[in-house]
Every structure is written in structure tokens, then in C-alpha cells.
Structure 1
Amino acid sequence: MPRSKPAPKKPRYRTGAPHRAFMAIANTWRRFRRWVLRLSALVLVLLLAWVLLYRFVAPPGGLFMWQEYRRLGEISRQWVPLHQIAPIMARSVVAAEDANFCRHWGFDMSAIRQVIEQGAARGASTISQQTVKNVFLWHGRDWTRKALESGITLLVEASWPKARIIEVYLNIAEFDEGVFGVEAAAQHYFGTTAAELSAEQAARLAAILPAPKTRNAANPSEFTRRRAVAIMDGAATIARDGRADCLSG
């Protein structure tokens, strides 16, 4: 009787190798995700520490100021505390740049809505946003900077009093080529100090802020004169209606 042939053996599949490869990829991904989360947390902590430091320490300057120093070879700037700046100067800047400064949390939503309705014909940056840009970031219109500006503005508004924001802004804003801060501007244009600025002088300084390289506070154009008159009226208005109450240190 012929022998029956043995049944063919089933091929053996190495099921363990793909599983080990999958697990290795999954473990690598988990380690990468943990690394990203830890790095993000570290960046956030360092950023928060940076913001909190400048609540108490005068910022040495921003990237734009450093760039101007490299370009010009020298700049003029002298830090002065808020109590050594004429109160009318702070009111004039708020009236000119951000009338609702004392009432918003870093973003003026009514101004943003107006910009949208007008087709973005003008900007809507608040003094808080401009301070963040001048101190922590670079100048430009790219979306990366705007996103960082928005996040840091929230941190600044949450950790600095309004008086500190206006103090830093007045000490770091550009008033002419190579002239930064209200003390240097007062000396440059009027031969006086920030503490001794008159209402008209403060209004003229506020009027040149949007275009400090093309406007002159000491020898103003007709437009700058008219703008300064409007700013003086606005400064008086916000003093009366309480919108300047947050400006005292």
C-alpha cells in the first residue's frame, strides 16, 4: 500500500517584526511629543519670566532700537520714570494713539471693527500692542510677529498695570531718527525735559509718533499743527470723562 504524502507545511510568518517596528515608531513619536511639550513649556516659562522682569526693570531697548544703533552708530535715549514725565504727555499719547487704553484688555475691539468696515484702511494697534512690538519683537507685518504680539500682549496686560505699560511705551517709542523716549525727544525738539513739557509740546510729540522720521515737532507742518490741536482737545476730553484715570503711577 503506497505511503500517503505528508501534508505540506504552512509557511511561518514572522508576525513579531512588524509589531516591533510599529512599537518603535510609536515610542519615538511619544518621546518626540514629550520633548515638544517640555520645550514649549520651557519657552512659555522663560517668556513669562521675561515679561515679569520688565514690569520692575527698565527694558534696555528693543530689536529695532538695536538695529538703529547699528545703522546710525549712536542713538539718543534716557529712561525716566512716569512720575518724572508731565501727566499731559501720557494723556496726549493716549488721546492720539489709543483713546480707550484704560478700558480695554490689550485689544480695542471697536477700533478693529471700524478697520474691518473701512477695508483695513488704517491700523488698529493699541498702545499695549505697540509696546510689546517695540520691547519684545521686531517691526514688520508678517503673521508670525502678529501672532506672537497678540500672545505677549495678553501676558503684559495680565501682569503689568496700565501705568507701567504707558511708562515703558513713552520711554521706548521713536520720536525722530535715532531719538527714542520722551526725555530724549523733549530735549531734542524743545530743549526741555519730559517733566516740563507744555500741553502744546506734548500734543506735538504725540502727533509725530505715527511717522517720526517725516514729521517734526519743533517745526511742524500745517497737518501736524492741526493734528496737535485735535490731540489737545482729546487729552482734555479723556481727562474729564475718566478715560485717563489709569495713567497715574
Structure 2
Amino acid sequence: MKALVRWCTLLACAVLCLQVFFLLRIASFSLIPPESSSFERSQIWQVLTRQGRLPWRQEWVDQNRMSSSLKRAVLASEDSAFTQHHGIWWDSLEKAWGKNAKAKAQAERRAQRLGDAKPVEAKIVGGSTITQQLAKNLFLSGERTLLRKAQEMVLTLGLEVFLSKSRILEIYLNSVEWGEGVFGAEAAAQHYFRKPASALSAWESARLAVMLPRPRYFEQRPQSPYLASRAEVIVGRMNDVALP
């Protein structure tokens, strides 16, 4: 019994130290931009493994060197309530939990019909704000489990406590993926439109914003009808969102 208590104590201390480490790193981002994110490092490894070389474009630019149209388009597309929540949009998260619970139940019934004894893992998807996406990209792996989601929420709250909304958006726009080996607004603007991020028009900004959920997919399909029609919708919504 004493050994179990000792191991539980050590585990709790290790978890606490990890959280302190994460929070100290987050606090440092108020002054120093992150050199790279966990997601970027995983993509570097995949590209190197697949191609044997590293075609990579990324350049940090301050938010005053980004088109306000791009900021508005990304918010309109990804998180229109960005300035209103504290990192977690609970209504959206509740809906995502409901959808995932329903999907899990359906998967379990299907597994029972097929006689599959393998348990169905609980996975949480959807309901992510820009702050949550940034927390995941900066620190976490791509797995979708309850434990990883819990860690994401802790990091999300840490980002909201230590960083301003404008800084969170600035880091997000400088680190988000916009194609294979294309990270950040400046690299995306140069890659797709041969111009700096500060010169993007409303239409160009909307096109980039629509790409964000599936950047590598749309990079290969620049003439996608969905991309064009969705960009039109985002252009119409851009003036309805507030910038931090």
C-alpha cells in the first residue's frame, strides 16, 4: 500500500511539474515568439521521411504587418466569437461531446454486430476555438483522446491567462499550416499570391481562411468549387467579427 501511495505521489508530482513547464513556456511567448510548434516538428519529420528533403516556408511577421482582412477572414471562418470567450466555447464543446457520444454508441453497436471484441476508444473532436487549436499545435500530438483533450483545455486556459487575445491570434497566424511545408500568414501569402501578408485583399484572405481545416487538400485543389463558394460566404461575414 505504501509503495502504491509513493508511486501515485511521484506521478502527481510529475504531472504538476509538466504543467508548470507548459505554463512557463506560455508566459515566455508574451515576449518571445515560439521557435516551432509540436505540429510543425511532426510535419518536418514526415516531409523529410517521405521526400528526403525539406521544402519549407515560414517567416514570422508582427500582426501590424498582416492584412486586417486576413485576421477578419480567419476569425469569421474559424472562431467568430474569439473576442467573446475565454478560450473555450462551452456551448460548442457541449454539442461536440454529444456528437461524439452518439458516434461512439453507433460504433459500439456496429462492433457488436460484427462480433468485434476490441473496445471502442473515446475520442473527442470538434468544438475547438482558435486558442484551443493553438494549444494543440504548440504542445500536443494529434491523438484524440479524453486525456489529450483535458491537457488541451489546461493549456488553452493558460494561453488565455498569460497572453492577450491579439498575441494569441498573432502566434496562431504565424504558426498555422497552409499547405505542405507552408506555415504562417507570410509564407502562405507569398506561396499562393506572390505578395506579402500585409497586401492581401479581402477575397485572397477569405480563400486562405477557408483552406485552414484542410490546407494540404485544398493546396492540391485550388479550383475547388467549394473553396470558391465558401470564400464568398466568408467575405460576407468578415465585417461582422471584432478584431482583438
Among residues 63, 69, 91, which one is paired with 2:44 in the alignment?
A: 69
Instruction: Considering Cα pairs closer than 8 Å and 6+ residues apart, tell me whether 1 or 2 has the greater RCO.
Output: 2
In 2: Cα distance, 1:46 partner to 1:117 partner: 33
Q: Does 1:213 align with 2:205?
A: no
Structure 2 residue aligned with 1:158:
161
SS of equivalent to 1:99: coil
Among residues 53, 64, 73, which one is paired with 1:83 in the alignment?
A: 64
Kept in 1: contact 2:86–2:157 (CA 8 A)? yes
AA of the residue aligned to 2:216: K
Is 144-153 or 37-46 further displaced after alignment? 37-46
SS of equivalent to 1:189: helix
Per-residue deviation, 1:117:
5.9
Is 112-121 or 64-73 further displaced after alignment? 112-121
Which sections of structure 1, spanning at least 5 residues, go unmatched? 1-24, 239-243
Among residues 129, 134, 138, which one is paired with 2:137 in the alignment?
A: 134
Structure 2 residue aligned with 1:183:
186
Compared CA separation, residues 245 and 62, structure 1 to 2 (3 A)? closer
Q: Does 1:236 align with 2:239?
A: yes
Per-residue deviation, 1:158:
0.9
AA of the residue aligned to 1:63: S
RMSD over equivalenced CA pairs, Å: 2.4
Per-residue deviation, 1:178:
1.1
Compared CA separation, residues 174 and 180, structure 1 to 2 (3 A)? same
AA of the residue aligned to 1:85: M
Structure 1 residue aligned with 2:177:
174
Structure 2 residue aligned with 1:97:
78
In 1: Cα distance, 2:17 partner to 2:222 partner: 50
Q: What TM-score do you get using the length of structure 1 for normalisation?
A: 0.78
Per-residue deviation, 1:40:
4.1
Kept in 2: contact 1:76–1:179 (CA 8 A)? yes
Q: Deviations for 1:115-168, whole angstroms, at most 9, x for unmatched residues?
A: 456667872111000001111112221223211101110111111100011111
> Aligned residues, how many?
216
Kept in 1: contact 2:72–2:238 (CA 8 A)? yes
Q: Does 1:192 align with 2:167?
A: no
AA of the residue aligned to 2:151: L
AA of the residue aligned to 1:61: S
Per-residue deviation, 1:194:
0.6
Per-residue deviation, 1:30:
6.5
SS of equivalent to 1:234: helix
Compared CA separation, residues 222 and 41, structure 1 to 2 (3 A)? closer
Question: Which is higher, the Rg of structure 1 or of structure 2?
Answer: 1
Kept in 2: contact 1:88–1:198 (CA 8 A)? yes
Identity of aligned residues (%): 33
AA of the residue aligned to 2:37: G
AA of the residue aligned to 2:78: E
